[in-house]
Structure 1
Amino acid sequence: MKRFPTALKQTLRYAFVGLLGLSLLSSCKKDDPYDFKDTITADVNLINASPDATAARLYVDDVLRTPNGVNYGDASGYNKSFLGDQDVEIRSVSGEAVLASTHGQFDAYASYTYFLVGQNSGLGLVIVTDDLAAPSAGKAKIRFVNAAPNASNATLNNGSTVLVGPQNFRGIAPSTEVAAGSYTLTVASGLVRSATTTVNLESGKIYTVYAKGLIGTAGASAFGVGVFVNK
């Protein structure tokens, strides 16, 4: 009986040391927001679909998650972030100007794409929880997002064939599987058609296809189609 208190003290001492170690490890991770070792994470991606916006970067809880500036029509690709409730801001490359912001929940192993959309008078975000489940054999998976501010009831088409039904500005269509192969993609809004984009949709791969630009303009901001390879 005399040995029990000693054993109990040793057990409590080891438990305390273990908790202290976990506390120190947690503190280290908070001090280094880029240390993801032994940590379950989410992935974030920024697509700049605003023809008026300058190059942009994505911040999560004031931490830069997309190291390179993302120009109009480009994507950052996926970058890791911690889980939980997060404040998300899209800022100018200098980090001084906040272009758009939101708050969201990041879940374990989930992937999120943030579209910067709109014009200078009203920049905003379209947030997509990406569906990265593999498509069926011989298929590719696409998701269509309408990020063109003045394109209403926009459909995604392969030539004259409608692939995805109408979406208004900021609309996010469900993922759909299509046969792998070469596609000539256009977006139609009423009688107006965008410029075409030819892309080879590969078997087993996943794509986000989005309407971009402005109807009635020319040059870099012309009504068109953007494609991002998710996986």
Structure 2
Amino acid sequence: MRFLKKYKWILAFPVLALTSCNKADYLDIDAGDRTPLSAKVKFVNARLSYVAVNFWDFTRKVTPGLLQRNTASGYLDTQFGKVQYNLTEGSSASYKASYVFGGSANFIQETNTASFAGPNGPIADFAHSLFAVKKRLTSTLNPNNTDSLILVYDDLERPAAGKVKIRFANFSPDAPKIDFSYAAGTTIFSGVGYGNFGDQVVIPYTAGKAPAIVEGLTWKTLGPFKEVDAGTNLNFQIKNGTDQTVIPVSKNALSGITLEDGKIYTIFINGLRSGSPELSATIILHN
């Protein structure tokens, strides 16, 4: 879980200037005429298990129906600010993952005596994605938490003409650091470790504290997108970031794909290089 825990600290870091609406204008409107505020969250089931899941904010089930493995919901209205997101399997009420976002003045690392918490939760009127992924290590504090939750902000600003925006995440527990590239050879994202997104700004976390200022940090750099050319019959591949060995994915899922002009995508890998379910690649659309 080292990489995954590290990334959750990244997601929890306070970020300035994230509000997309003017508070004064909003409060000047009569209460009965105000549009209810909510965070917009796309829920993504990127776990190893084939059992379908539901997502919850606190005790309210948010997803309208069970979400199958390697699928995503649309953007759904959820609580903003301090939120406990939970994950359940099938009709079970037992949490397979449960994390508080926005629930602490400081970073709290998940240990055997404390659950993960951090100061930054989902923001009203912002778009986010919440990924459920496999934990590498279990906790004696929360032994039923077999999975982790990763929250990122989604930059839905349209790309330039003829371009798409993509981001890449590595959710395969036994994969090395990954390079994501065109099959022809040009690398798009490099050295992406487990639980991480390509080109994210990494926040150092030492002795219980993150630095007051992190160079290059904005909400867009937590799960960043990169613009590439739109096109059809595009071929991508993943490589071992150390020795550049090509790593195959199930059903050649990164070959012959279409990226439509103006669209925004997340591409992630999960599954296992050695074991079941086998390593696979999934593409989800954000707009």
**TM-score normalised to structure 2 length:** 0.63
2:248 aligned with 1:194, yes or no?
A: yes
Cα distance between partner residues in 1 of 2:51 and 2:67: 8
Q: 2:147 — aligned with what?
A: 123
Q: 2:169 — aligned with what?
A: 145
String of CA shifts for 1:80-136, please: whole Å, max 9, x gaps.
Answer: 123221111111221412011112222122112111111695421222211111111
Q: Is the 8 A contact 1:139 1:204 kept in 2?
A: yes
Cα distance between partner residues in 1 of 2:48 and 2:154: 23
The structure 2 residue matched to 1:99, chosen from 82, 87, 96, is 96
> If each structure's strand is expressed as a fraction of its own residues, which one has the higher value?
1
Cα–Cα, structure 1 residues 54 and 184, in superposed 2: closer, same or farther, change >3 Å? same
Q: Is the 8 A contact 1:128 1:172 kept in 2?
A: no
- Say how many residue pairs are matched: 196
How far did residue 224 of structure 1 move? 1.8
Q: 1:156 — aligned with what?
A: 180
The AA in structure 2 aligned to 1:142 is I
Q: 1:210 — aligned with what?
A: 268
The AA in structure 2 aligned to 1:178 is V
Give the number of the structure with larger relative contact order, counting CA–CA contacts within 8 Å between residues 6 or more apart: 2
The structure 2 residue matched to 1:69, chosen from 66, 71, 83, is 66
- SS across alignment from 1:108: coil
**TM-score normalised to structure 1 length:** 0.77
The AA in structure 1 aligned to 2:227 is E
- SS across alignment from 2:74: coil
Percent sequence identity over matched residues?
A: 26
- Cα RMSD (Å) of the superposition? 2.2
> If each structure's helix is expressed as a fraction of its own residues, which one has the higher value?
1
String of CA shifts for 1:26-85, please: whole Å, max 9, x gaps.
Answer: xxxxxxxxxxx8212221122111122521111012111111111211112221123221
Q: Is the 8 A contact 1:187 1:211 kept in 2?
A: no
2:244 aligned with 1:176, yes or no?
A: no
Cα distance between partner residues in 1 of 2:95 and 2:182: 37
Higher Cα Rg: structure 1 or 2? 1
How far did residue 171 of structure 1 move? 0.6
Q: Is the 8 A contact 2:51 2:69 kept in 1?
A: yes
Gaps of 5+ in 1: 1-20, 26-36
The AA in structure 2 aligned to 1:166 is G
